[in-house]
Amino acid sequence: MTSSGQINIITKKIVAYLLLFSFLCGTIISFPTQIQAQEVSFPDLNSQSAVLMEFSRGEIIFSKNGSEPLPPASLTKIMTLLLSYEALQSGRISWDEETVVSQKAWETGGSQMFLEIGDKVTVGDLITGIAVVSANDGCVAIAEHLYGSEAIFVQEMNKKAAELGLKNTKFQNSSGLPHPDHYTTAEDLAVISRYLIKNFPEYLKLHKQTEFTYNDIVQYNLNPLLGRYTGADGLKTGHTTEAGHCLVGTAAQEGLRFITVTMNASSAEKRLIDNETMLNYAFRNYTQAKLLPAGEVVSSIRVTGGEERQLGLTLEKPVETVVPFDRQEDLELKYNIPESAPAPIEKGSPLGTVEVLLDGKKLTEEPLLAAKDIKKAGIFSLILRSVADFFSGLWQKLLQMINNLLF
């Protein structure tokens, strides 16, 4: 045989060994092109602070002064509603239970649902009034109903902010009325909003409700995105002289959701334009990359001591992630699977994970599950298997010796 033929055989063997090593390590090797995402810039934004967040991972795509503490006005109510939704979910309060309106709630100025002292009002009406018409009096009423006083409720607001890891947020009241030591940031508001939507999606129906009637007074939701921007279903407007015009917007289209935050715009019109600008960019430049389907075998694992030696691994959920259109080809799949798993194994047992990477950064991860039950093999079957493996090994060694002699 020619030397070039020998080199080809050696090359093929090296490739085979590399592929085998890759499989045993549980990693699919890919060679992505290193295309860097373009830096996002919106030079014409009027708002003093603005943030664009991708919902599924909470990635901040764009930030203009996003960590600058500013007065949030009625965007404060997102936290007030979050605590109210948590209380409903836990069963501490119910939608139909009633509370009596206090003088403090009645005296609260600004936007109102026009509660009267001594009125019996349901929790559902208070929450709807806050979500739809930004009722300051409703905020005080729900705060007092939950914790006995607005002051204690505010302590819980700040406690929740700390739990969410917010370092530039401090609340002094439940409504967002001006206070020199009441502030947050656009980035923190995006985090609060994402938490609310992720954990209480059923209440988005309130945030996209366009009007609310209480005591025969009809009032309208001031969120300009509703009915104007496709998929818009929240979240909250705000305005005071100190805070300027503020808006947390969110919209969902074709499986994608984005959150926008603008603070201290000079007018309601410019506040709207800024949010539409960011949402338009997001929906035009991002896509849901579908990488692996649910329910199908996508990998396998060696089983020791089982009636079968190999077990397929499936996904309960599809592997998907949101990325810019021009980065889809750069995604990598990394399988984290042990060398083997001992029998018995129950169907659905987690036996590894698959990660989605972009530029070495993990974007998302899903567990790999046993596709079926594997029973433990009997002692007689294991003995026969050991004998068969022994002779199989001898046969492989013999073939290798012959191969070495011939080539």
pLDDT (0 to 100) of residue 52: 98
Closest CA to 256 of 229, 289, 223, 234: 289
Whether 74 is catalytic is yes
Q: How far apart are CA 364 and CA 354, in angstroms?
A: 9
Whether 134 is catalytic is yes
Kindly state the average pLDDT of the residues 138-162: 98
The fold adopted by the segment(s) 49-288 is Beta-lactamase (3.40.710)
367 exposure class (CB count in 10 Å sphere: 0-12, 13-18, 19+) = middle
Q: Is the pLDDT of residue 162 over 90?
A: yes
- Looking at domain 293-376, which of 2.60.410.10, 2.30.38.10, 3.40.50.80, 3.40.50.1000 is its CATH number? 2.60.410.10
Same fold for the domain at 49-288 and the one at 293-376? Answer: no
Q: Is the pLDDT of residue 5 over 90?
A: no
Closest CA to 145 of 132, 156, 160: 156
pLDDT (0 to 100) of residue 36: 33
User: Residues 176, 77: contact at Cβ < 8 Å?
Assistant: yes
pLDDT digits (tens, 9 = 90+) for 219-266: 999 999 999 999 999 999 999 999 999 999 999 999 999 999 999 999
pLDDT (0 to 100) of residue 407: 63
At 17, the pLDDT band (50, 70, 90 cuts) reads very low
Q: How many CA atoms lie within 13 A of 345 on its CB side?
A: 28
For 28-37, 194-203, 289-298, 350-359, which range has the lowest pLDDT when averaged over its residues? Answer: 28-37
Q: Is the pLDDT of residue 387 over 80?
A: no
pLDDT (0 to 100) of residue 256: 97
Structure tokens at 138: 């409703």
Kindly state the average pLDDT of the residues 98-121: 97
pLDDT (0 to 100) of residue 31: 28
User: Residues 50, 263: contact at Cβ < 8 Å?
Assistant: yes
At 386, the pLDDT band (50, 70, 90 cuts) reads low
Could you tell me what percentage of the chain is helix, strand and coil, using 3-state DSSP and rounding each to the nearest 5? 40, 30, 35
At 338, the pLDDT band (50, 70, 90 cuts) reads very high
Query: Which one is catalytic: 84, 134, 174, 193?
Result: 134
Q: Name the maximum alpha-carbon separation found in the chain.
A: 102
Express as a percent the part of the chain with pLDDT over 90. 79
Closest CA to 58 of 236, 243, 234, 199: 199
288 exposure class (CB count in 10 Å sphere: 0-12, 13-18, 19+) = middle
178 exposure class (CB count in 10 Å sphere: 0-12, 13-18, 19+) = middle
Query: Which one is catalytic: 49, 74, 84, 193?
Result: 74
Average pLDDT for the chain:
88
pLDDT (0 to 100) of residue 395: 56
Q: How far apart are CA 20 and CA 24, in angstroms?
A: 6
Residue 401 sits at φ, ψ, to 5 deg, of -65, -45
Whether 47 is catalytic is no
Q: How many other CB atoms are found less than 10 A from the CB of residue 177?
A: 21
Instruction: Give the residue, 31 or 156, on which the prediction is more confident.
Output: 156
Query: Which one is catalytic: 49, 63, 64, 77?
Result: 77
pLDDT digits (tens, 9 = 90+) for 53-92: 999 999 999 999 999 999 999 999 999 999 999 999 999 9
pLDDT (0 to 100) of residue 136: 98
Pinpoint the alpha helices (H) of 313-378. none
Q: Is the pLDDT of residue 276 over 60?
A: yes
pLDDT (0 to 100) of residue 332: 97
For 275-279, 355-359, 399-403, which range has the lowest pLDDT when averaged over its residues? Answer: 399-403
| Element spanning 339, H or E | none
Q: How far apart are CA 341 and CA 347, in angstroms?
A: 13
Q: Where are the domains of the chain?
A: 1-30, 49-288, 293-376, 380-407
Kindly state the average pLDDT of the residues 163-184: 97
pLDDT digits (tens, 9 = 90+) for 340-361: 999 899 999 999 999 999 999 9
